[in-house]
Structures are given as C-alpha cells and as structure tokens.
Amino acid sequence: MLTSLSIKNYALIDNLQVDFNNGFSIITGETGAGKSILLGGLSLILGKRADLSSLKDASQKCIIEAVFNIEDYKLQSLFKSEDFDYESHTIIRREILPSGKSRAFVNDSPVNLSSLQLLGERLIDIHSQHQTLQLTNDSFQFQIIDALANNEDSLNKYQIELKVYKSLQKELNELLVFQSEAIKEHDYNTFLLKELVEANLVDGELESLEEEYDTLNNIESIKERLSEAYHLLSDEQIGALATLTSLKNTFQKLSNMSFKYEDIFNRVNSSLIEMDDVFLEVSSFQENLDADPNRLEVVDSKLKTLNDLLQKHVASNISELIEIKNQLEEKVAVTENLDDDIAKKQQDIIIQTEKLNTIALSIHNSRIEAIPSLKQQLEAVLSELGMANAQFNIGVTLLESFMFNGKDELQFLFSANKGGNFNELKKAASGGELSRIMLAIKSILAKYIQLPTIMFDEIDTGVSGEISNKMGDIMLQMSKSMQVFSITHLPQIAAKGHSHFKVYKEDVDNVTQTNLIKLNYDERVVEISQMLGGIEMSSSAIAHAKELLN
C-alpha cells in the first residue's frame, strides 16, 4: 500500500506531504483544482517519462518521493531479478533536474525507467475511463479467467517449460543451418584432412629429414672428408694415433724418472684414448656410409610434401600442422555426427512438446471450469450497477500452437441488451459500460489475488446517484482486502471512504498553488454538502451529507 507521498516543485505544487491509510480513500476537488497534477506526479513514481515543463521553478529540481508497504506483495523475486535492495517499506524517489535530466531511485539505489515501470505496475493501478481499453486485450482477459482458475502455479510451470522448448527449437534451427553450411565445407575439409593424415606427421620430423637429405645429397664429399680424416688418424708415419702413441711412450719413460712428468703423461694418455674413440667413430661412419639414391628420392619427396603442406596451411612447423589436422578431424566428425545430433534434438523437442501439452491441457480444463463462475459473478455485479441485461459469452478453444500463456484461443463476447447479438467488448460496450465492467472485474479479482493499490480516476463519470451508490459499495468492499482510492465528483461515493482528501488551489504571494489536505469529519460534511448543493450550503444539503456519512 501507498503510505506517504511527497511532491516538491512539480507543476502547481510547491511542497506537498501527505500520509495515507489502508482501506478506502476518497479524493475530491473542484474541476481544475489539480487532481490531474497529483496523478501526474504519482505517475512519475511509477516510471512515466519526465518533462522539463513539469518544474514549477525551472531553476530548482523537482523531487517526488513515495513510501510503500510491500510486505504482502511477494515482490522479493522481482527485486532480486532487477537487482533492487529489498525493504518491506520501500522508498521510490524521482528527481527531475533543471537540465532536463531525470533520475530514479529505489531505496536510495539508482534504477533505470524500464525497471521502475516493472515495479510500478505491481504497486499502483491508476484506472481511468480511457484505460478501460485494457479490457479488450486478450492478455488481460486471460488474467481474469486464470485468477479464478487458480492457474498461477501451472502458468509459471508452463512458462518455464516453454522457455526450454523455445531453447531446444533454437538449438535445432542452429544445427540445421550449421548442417547446410557444413555440407558445403565437408568435402573440402575431408580432402585437407586426408592430405595431412597421409603425410603421417611426426613432430620434429622435418628437421630430421632435412639432416638426412643433406647427408644423402653430399655423400661423395662426406666420404672424401672421412677418408682424409681416417688417413690423418691412422697413417703409420704421420698419423695422429701413431704420433700420440710415441708421445705417450716418451712421457711414460719421463714419469718413471720424475714424478713431475706424470701429469703430462696422464693427459697425453687421455688424449690418446679420446682420439682412439674418434678413430673408431670415423671408421664406423665410413663403413655405414653408402650412397642410396632411392632413399634420397624418398626423403626429397617427403620434404617436398611437408613444405607444400606448411605453405598451404600457413604453418611454421610440423607441430602446427598436427594442430590443424586435429581441428579438421573435429570439424569433419561434427559434420558426420550432425544427423545424430539433429535426431536427438528432435527427440528432445518431442518430449518437451508432450510436457507442454500436458500442462496446457490442465490450464485449458481449469479455465473451462472457472468460466461459468466468472460469467455468473460478472453478470450479478453488473446487474447491481444498472446493467441488468448484461450477458457474457466466454469460451476457450485449444489450438495447436504454443502461446505465452497456454494453447487457448479466447472468445470473450458481450451483449448489453436482452436478445442482443454478442460481440467483442470494444464493439459491444460503450465507454460508461466498459468502466462498470472494469470495476466489476477488479472487484471479482480482489477476491482471488492480491491486487496492487488501485486508484479509480472519475470512473463514476456519467452514472446516476443510485448506480454511483452501488459503485461506492463495491469499492468499499474491495478495500477490505486492498488499498483503494477513488477520485470522484459524486457525494454518494465520497461519503463511503474511510479517509477523505481534498485537492484545492490557493494563491500564495500572487502565485497559484495546488495543495492536498486530509479532511476531518466536520470538513467532510462541508465538502459533501457542497458536492450535493453547491457553494451555498443549504440546511438540507448539510443534513443529507451527515446522513450519507453516517
């Protein structure tokens, strides 16, 4: 419920502060006193776009602040999804700066307008005659039926499963699109993969092959150099081995003569052993070095293949080619497995469709069961409101397609006259009739769901005193379970309120201002008597006002 409202520097309002109670509150005032200004300020709290022309003093900012008690509204999930700080007594503040910029806050945390609008819809329903067009909307008509059918849990479950269904449909479409594109690339990718697989790639092989190629390609030169090395090592006259052997023998004799030559002997001996190993390796190289034109051709061919692949795939080494091969294997495998993936996704959709159909059928059946009660209650309330011949023809037909709230097509037809033809509400009901139908619907909904604070803005325009009395009774009855405001010109309704507020204009320092005050009993008597008989109150008008109040 709305517990307090503060408006500063807005239109004709300089500084207004008012507290509200639960129950049925009346707002009255002469035409032009500023009731629309009050509603305009309240609309800003609910997320309406701001206008710089709204500032009373263009050099100062406009501040509108409202406090709501939301303990019974079950809004924790909305606060969480919109990242609001939840407080049972929530403060919404709207500021319009002289620059024209607008800011909004929920519990002192800045919020955007779209989020504020979502919250505002759950806090206050400002209902005026032109808003009765909502009645002609299928979505609103379904809300009415679903409230009586107690479909909230089923609809929540349905929407969760519908989200899964749509996600599966999207994934299937993406797979089908991917398949159509992948088929075009599949043959090419398979060809590239085959080339890489046939190349039998081994990391580091390129360097090994290049070394082998250099050896095979220069074998005669290598043989010549090895032969020369062999001769330098083994020649009996000048060979390194013979020379080192003689040197070793010389220092062995010297070391026998003196200890100081032993170190040189050991070093010469080590050199001889090392040179002997070198000689053995050179001999081995010579024995194993044979010209092999066939192997040279094989190595040359393999090197050409690898270099061609490196160039084709813009790779710098075999390791990168192996990675490219792995990626191609994945692409080819994915393409080849697409049929299985698509079939599985289609099966998932079939299962999900069965789930949705089960929930949708349950929703459909509960709607069918609720419609007779809705029809009976609507016609009974409208009969009290002077529409004794009002009749409704309401039905739902189960369709094939899934919609956001089930699979039903709704027929919500109305006839205002006995024997008249049934037609859509927007075609069959006048503006005044729509207002009464909306009031009847809201009064019925109040029995089944927790409605937000509702503000009826002159919904009683153009109705008789007797009907207005019934309208007042209905709003009073609604106020037992919710907070109800009525902006009215009719004394019969004004007298039924638990609280009565008056909007009025006054001149302060030659500046017109709009104000709002709460009336006490005596002030209510005066206000209602003036609504009955004009400014010049007669004793009968005062008596009538007291009678209405009592």
Pairing of strands 89-96, 511-518: unpaired
Angle at 245 between CA 239 and CA 248, to 5 degrees: 140
Asked if 483 and 23 count as a contact pair (C-beta separation under 8 A), the reply is: yes
Which of 443, 481, 482 lies closest to 459, judged by CA?
443
Question: Side chain identity at 444, as an amino acid letter?
Answer: I
| pLDDT per residue as tens, the chain (550 positions) | 999 999 999 988 889 999 999 999 999 988 877 888 888 889 999 988 887 778 888 889 999 999 999 988 888 989 998 999 999 999 999 999 988 888 999 999 999 999 999 999 889 988 876 566 667 778 889 989 999 999 999 999 999 999 999 999 999 998 888 877 777 776 777 778 788 888 888 787 777 777 766 666 666 677 778 777 777 877 777 778 878 888 888 888 888 888 888 888 889 888 888 888 888 887 777 776 666 667 677 767 778 878 888 888 888 888 888 888 888 877 777 666 778 888 999 999 999 999 999 999 999 999 999 999 999 999 999 999 888 999 999 999 999 999 999 999 999 999 988 878 889 887 888 777 888 888 898 899 888 888 889 999 888 777 777 888 899 999 999 999 899 999 998 999 999 999 999 999 888 888 888 899 999 999 999 999 998 887 777 888 899 999 998 8
CA gap 276, 268 in Å, rounded: 12
Give me 249's structure tokens.
């023998």
Distance CA 134, CA 421 (A): 22
Q: At a CB cut-off of 8 Å and minimum separation 6, what does 544 contact?
A: 491, 529, 532
Tracing tokens 């379970």 back to the chain, one arrives at: 481
Amino acid at 437: I
CA 542 – CA 533 distance, rounded (Å):
9
d(CA 150, CA 176): 40
Pick the closest to residue 54 from 85, 13, 87 (CA basis).
Answer: 13
Burial class (CB in 10 A: 0-12, 13-18, 19+), 262: middle
The pLDDT value given to residue 215: 64
Cα separations (Å) of 181 from 174, 227, 332, 335? 11, 64, 13, 10
For helices 521-533 and 539-549, angle between their N-to-C axes, nearest 10 degrees: 120
Say which residue the tokens 């599966």 belong to.
168
CA distance 474 to 382: 11
The Cα–Cα gap between 547 and 550 comes to 5
Predicted pLDDT of residue 458: 84
HSE toward the beta carbon, residue 49, CA cutoff 13 A: 1
Burial of 316 (0-12, 13-18, 19+ CB in 10 A): exposed
Give the integer Cα–Cα distance in Å for 93 and 108: 8
Lookup: tokens for 456: 């009826």
Long-range contacts of 280-288 (CB under 8 A, 24+ apart): 282/226, 282/229, 282/230, 282/233, 283/230, 285/226, 286/223, 286/226, 286/227, 286/230
Q: Which H/E stretch holds residue 151?
A: none
Taking phi over 0 as left and psi of -120 to 50 as alpha, with beta for the rest, 52 belongs to alpha
Encode 199-212: b = buried (16+ Cβ within 10 Å), e = exposed: bebeeeebeebeeb
Residue 534: the pLDDT is 77
Residue-level pLDDT at 208: 76
Are 346 and 339 in contact by the 8 Å Cβ rule? The answer is no
| Cα 107 from Cα 109, distance rounded (Å) | 6
Number of H helices, E strands in the chain: 17, 15
Spatial distance between the Cα atoms of 329 and 242, rounded to a whole number of angstroms: 63
DSSP for 166-230 reads: HHHHHHHHHHHHHHHHHHHHHHHHHHHHHHHHHTT--TTHHHHHHHHHHHHHTHHHHHHHHHHHH
DSSP string over 75-144: -HHHHHHTTPPP-SEEEEEEEE-TTS-EEEEETTEEE-HHHHHHHHHTTEEEEEGGGGGGGG-HHHHHHH
Nearest alpha-carbon partner for 297 in 232, 376, 209: 209
Residue 473's pLDDT is: 92
